[in-house]
Structure 1
Amino acid sequence: MIEQRSDYAFSRFLKFWRRVHQLSQEELAGRLESSPRHISRLETGTCRASEAIVLQIGEVLALGKRDLNHLLISAGYAPLVERIDFNSPELRWLRKAMILTLRALDPYPATLVDSDSQILMVNKGFVNLFTQVVPASLLAQITNNYDFVFGRSSTDSMVKDWEDTISAIIMAGQQAALFSNNPEDQAQIDSLVERSGVPPDWAQRAAKMEPRSSFRVQIDLRGEVQNFFNVSTIVGSLGPAAFVSDPRLTINILYPEDDNLDLSFPADADIRHPLLFY
């Protein structure tokens, strides 16, 4: 049984920001062209805030993107997320940080993926491993993580429990698309659902599973099947903003199940890929 809570997160956020700006309920009501009684009801939780007044509060208090999104989420509304170009000049520092992070993960294969499942960067460990599996010319053309991991039929997939795993991934994307209400996000999910091997009951399957940050992958290396754990790490800001900040980045890392599997490569190895930046 789900515990019923009488408190309302928005009420706590509203009180917090009103006190940060040292405003009385009457002063805030005046700025909002509302009544002190309405502000009082919002703060006691006896009245639910409309999205319009949440946005108005954010405007009159000059809240930044992070704090406005927290306020929206606390009131039960979807955050406002602006798409940010990972390759823009102002994110040079982030690109450098991601290069250093991927390099530090060598020799374990790792990729940096955005919220559209586009692969932005890879490390040498990734190229070294998968050139043993995929022709280098083909590997160089792969830019989408869905295409890379789930591009084959379920019977020829690298992923164990393929149908359950892809169902869970589609469900995560579907719920994100419901939040964003962005036609492009929904179109991506619709395209994924139509892929070969996706079970028709993917939604029912996913509903029975809790979210997973990792899954098992099988890779045939030199005629021997090796098991890996695919672990995903979210790159984001602190607090709830990590789930609404953009660019929403994920680092996917493959760790071998066999501790004795040697993934190392010579320091001077000639390893190349269009998305390898060191």
Structure 2
Amino acid sequence: MTQSTHVGAQLKSWRERRRLTQLGLSSTAGVSTRHLSFIETGRSKPSKDMIIHLSECLEVPLRQRNTLLLAGGHAPAYSESALAETPMSAVSDAINRIVDAHDPYPAVVVDHQWDLIVGNRAVSILTEGAASFLLEPPVNVLRLSLHPEGMAERIVNLAQWRNHVIARLRREVEVTADAQLGALLEELLTYPSGGEWYEDESSLLVPLRIRAGDTELAMFSTTTVFGTPRDVTLAEIAIECFYPSDRETAEFFRAKSE
């Protein structure tokens, strides 16, 4: 979808991406199928409020909602503020507190492209030995994780972890229709698979098992996002925190922090 395509065609593309019929969307949005058809074919020009309403019903990300508004001849409705700007100061403080409080365990903050915004000191334990070019800003944490010159060489369950990362990224590409994420997915698919793997049915979460010297660390992660964002940057920030899966891993990180 491009900005040059009229807004109705873009809305239709989003509807089809969500696997909705015109009847299904019209029922959800409270809009007649006739009016929706006119919008999609360009016979009717939707208002700013209608574009926002249909975007909400289709769960279109904020960045792409702005694109739809521009295509419809309207100004963007959602700001895009840098974390260093005054309006985001409270958010920046909250992010720093969350990341710092997670010490001694690793935590990273990433943007919508999975580029690193900030990480705590424990992250260096996971990235130790990675090629320098992978650590140069902007650091893409998925590339760093799966690249053969990154963390991949030390990930014990590489095939399982790669499958988890690829599946997660593929879902994001489907949801966002982001071309850059699609290109990243294609790149990651070219990296070594790590061989076959078998699901550990006793595990409740997909673990990250990685060697740190002579120690095998076992961790799982949680993702935190901000609720009800009205800013593009805020909507696209995610905080990934890693937790030890066993006592040995917990003791390892605690010892490193002393």
Shared fold (TM-score greater than 0.5)? yes
* Aligned partner of residue 97 in structure 1, secondary structure: helix
Q: Work out whether residues 149 and 157 of structure 1, in 8 Å CA contact, stay in contact via their aligned partners in 2.
A: no
Q: Hey, what does 2:188 align to over in structure 1?
A: 192
1:147 and 1:83, CA in 2 relative to 1: closer, same or farther beyond 3 A? farther
Matched, 1:249 2:237: yes
Distance 1:46 1:109, change over 3 A: same
Residue number in structure 1 paired with 2:141: 145
**Distance in 1 between residues matched to 2:102 and 2:175, nearest whole Å:** 29
Equivalent pair of 2:99/2:119 in contact (CA under 8 Å): yes
1:83/1:145 Cα in 2 relative to 1: closer, same or farther (>3 Å)? farther
Deviations, residues 144-184 of structure 1 (Å, cap 9, x unaligned): 11122111289736245134223303312321452x5xx44
CA contact (8 A) 1:115 1:249 kept: yes
**Inter-partner Cα distance in structure 2 for 1:256 and 1:190:** 31
Match of 1:26 in 2: none
Q: What are the residue-to-residue correspondences of 1:38-77 with 2, within 5 Å?
A: 42=31, 45-47=32-34, 49=36, 50=39, 55-58=46-49, 69-74=52-57
SS at match of 1:156: helix
Return the TM-score normalized by structure 2.
Answer: 0.61
2:162 and 2:193 in contact (8 A); partners too = yes
SS for the counterpart of 2:47 is helix
| Secondary structure in structure 2 of the residue aligned to 1:84 | coil
Specify the alignment match of 2:223 in structure 1. 232
* Alignment of structure 1 residues 107-256 onto 2, 5 Å: 107-127=104-124, 129-130=125-126, 133-134=128-129, 141=136, 143-152=139-148, 156=153, 158=155, 159=158, 161-178=160-177, 180=178, 183-193=179-189, 195-197=190-192, 215-233=206-224, 235-238=225-228, 245-247=232-234, 248-256=236-244
- Deviating runs (4+, > 6 A) in structure 1? 4-7, 135-139
CA contact (8 A) 1:103 1:123 kept: yes
Matched to 2:227, the amino acid is S
Letter in 2 for 1:121: V
Contact 1:109 1:125 (8 Å CA) reproduced = yes
Change in CA separation of 1:72 and 1:198 when aligned onto 2, cut-off 3 Å:
same
RMSD of Structure 2 on Structure 1 (CA):
4.0
Name the SS of the counterpart of 1:124 in structure 2.
coil
Deviation digits for residues 19-65 of structure 1 (CA, Å, limit 9, x no counterpart): xxxxxxxxxxxxxxxxxxxxxxx3xx454522676840517xxxxxx
Partner SS state of residue 192, structure 2: coil
Report the equivalent of 1:62.
Answer: none
Residues 75, 54 of structure 1: alpha-carbon distance in 2 compared, 3 angstrom cutoff: farther
Match of 2:28 in 1: 9
TM-score (structure 1 length as normaliser): 0.57
Pair 1:140–1:76, CA change in 2 (3 A): closer
Question: Who is 2:247 aligned against?
Answer: 259
In structure 2, runs of 5+ residues without a counterpart are 1-20, 67-77, 195-204
The 1:58/1:136 distance shift into structure 2, 3 A limit, reads same
Instruction: Measure, in 2, the Cα distance between the counterparts of 1:252 and 1:8.
Output: 37
Q: Following the alignment from structure 1 to structure 2, what is the Cα–Cα distance between the partners of residues 190 and 119?
A: 20
1:19-98 equivalences in 2 (<5 Å): 42=31, 45-47=32-34, 49=36, 50=39, 55-58=46-49, 69-74=52-57, 79-81=64-66, 84=80, 86-89=82-85, 90-98=87-95
Cα 1:225/1:175, change in 2 over 3 Å: same
